[in-house]
Structure formats: C-alpha cells, structure tokens
Copies of this chain bind each other. A is one copy, B any other.
Amino acid sequence: MEDRRKIRTKRVIKETFLDLLKEKEINKISVAELADRADIGRGTFYLHYKDIYDLYEQFENEIFDQLEVFYDNKILNSSFSNVEKFVELIIEYIFANKEIFQILIGSNKGIQNTNKFKEFFKKKEWELSKSINGEVSEYQKVESAFTVAGVVSVLEEWVIEGMIISPDELEKYLKKILLKF
C-alpha cells in the first residue's frame, strides 16, 4: 500500500468527503457526487471503499488512532494513570481538534452509531481497571458500563452544542461526578 496513485486517490476522496460533510448530512452524500467532485471515476471509489459509510468508518478510525497515540504518549510521562488524567487528556485533545470532532460527531447525528467514542473509552477504562482489580463482579461491569456511557455522552453533547462551557469547566464537572465512583 505504498503506490502513489492509491495514496493520491484516497487522499482526494477523504478531502472531498470532508468538504461534503460540512455541507450536508452523510445520508445525503452519494458516491456519484463525491466521485464527480473529486474528479475520479465512480468505479475507482469502490476500489478503496465498500460504500460511503465504510469511508466514514475508516476516516473515523484514523482520527481515533491518532487520539490513542496522543493519549498513550502523554499517559506514559504521567506519574499516575487514572480516570482523572483520562478526562483531562481527552478534553484537551478534542478541544485542540474541535473542527474535525464537530464534523464527525455532527454528521453522526441522524445516522450511524458504531460509537467509536464509547469503544475507545471502554478500552481505556478496561486497561485502567485491569491493573487494579483481578476479578470483576457483575455489579462492577454494570457500573463501568454506566460511567463509560455517561462520560462519552457528556463529551458528545459538549461538542454538539458548540463547546459553550470551557474545557476547564467541563473537566471540573466530570471529575466531580467521577469522584462518586
């Protein structure tokens, strides 16, 4: 996967896709229109992606891979790794990349919900709790599902509503809530 043509094509597809996402919801975007705008043959699109949603997913995956790299690097240099640190870092990253998250989460509305956010937090939550507890009780599983969904939903609503309150404010609130657990 180092052929220049592939790289160029995928790049122009992603760029055009982002432009279109700014204009309309994902379910209104057709492969035909995208290919036309990107000046590639329609069939070429299918050489790289199953359909528009597949393109969306791969795009989303790339963003969250980047988020993970950022998180893992920062957390290594941190003396203590806990949920508080997680909240800090994630909020920092989202705020620094607000445009992309607004497009991603915004277009998410109305359709689709693999919910990468939830998956990501679940994974990190598990990595944290693994190091602490050996066995996990049924109750702990439910509690964990609860907090994960809670944090993710708060973050999502914060982004969707245009980040009206400051990152610091949000961080304070989330930490206060998580103190209860």
B145 to A154, Cβ gap below 8 A? Answer: yes
Q: Tell whether A152 pairs with B149 under 8 Å between CB atoms, given A111-B112, A142-B174, A173-B143.
A: yes
Q: Which of B112, B146, B153, B165 interacts with A138 by CB under 8 Å?
A: B165
Residues of chain B lying within 8 A (CB to CB) of residue A113: 108, 111-113, 115
A112 to B115, CA, bound (A): 11
Q: Which of B108, B143, B176 interacts with A177 by CB under 8 Å?
A: B143
The answer, yes or no, to whether A151 is at the interface (CB within 8 Å) is yes
The answer, yes or no, to whether A114 is at the interface (CB within 8 Å) is yes
A150 to B146, Cβ gap below 8 A? Answer: yes
B142 to A154, Cβ gap below 8 A? Answer: yes
A interface residues, tally (CB under 8 Å): 32
Q: Mark A165-181, 1 if CB is under 8 A from B, else 0.
A: 10001100110110011
Q: Tell whether A142 pairs with B111 under 8 Å between CB atoms, given A152-B149, A153-B148.
A: no
How far is the CB of A55 from the nearest CB of chain B, in Å?
15
Q: Mark A126-144, 1 if CB is under 8 A from B, else 0.
A: 0000000000001100110
Report A67-120 residues with CB < 8 Å from chain B CB: 108, 110-115, 118
The answer, yes or no, to whether A157 is at the interface (CB within 8 Å) is yes
The answer, yes or no, to whether A147 is at the interface (CB within 8 Å) is yes
A145 to B153, Cβ gap below 8 A? Answer: yes
Task: Identify the closest chain B residue to A173 (Cβ).
Answer: B142
Interface residues in chain A, defined as those with a beta carbon under 8 Å from any beta carbon in chain B: 108, 110-115, 118, 138-139, 142-143, 145-154, 157, 165, 169-170, 173-174, 176-177, 180-181
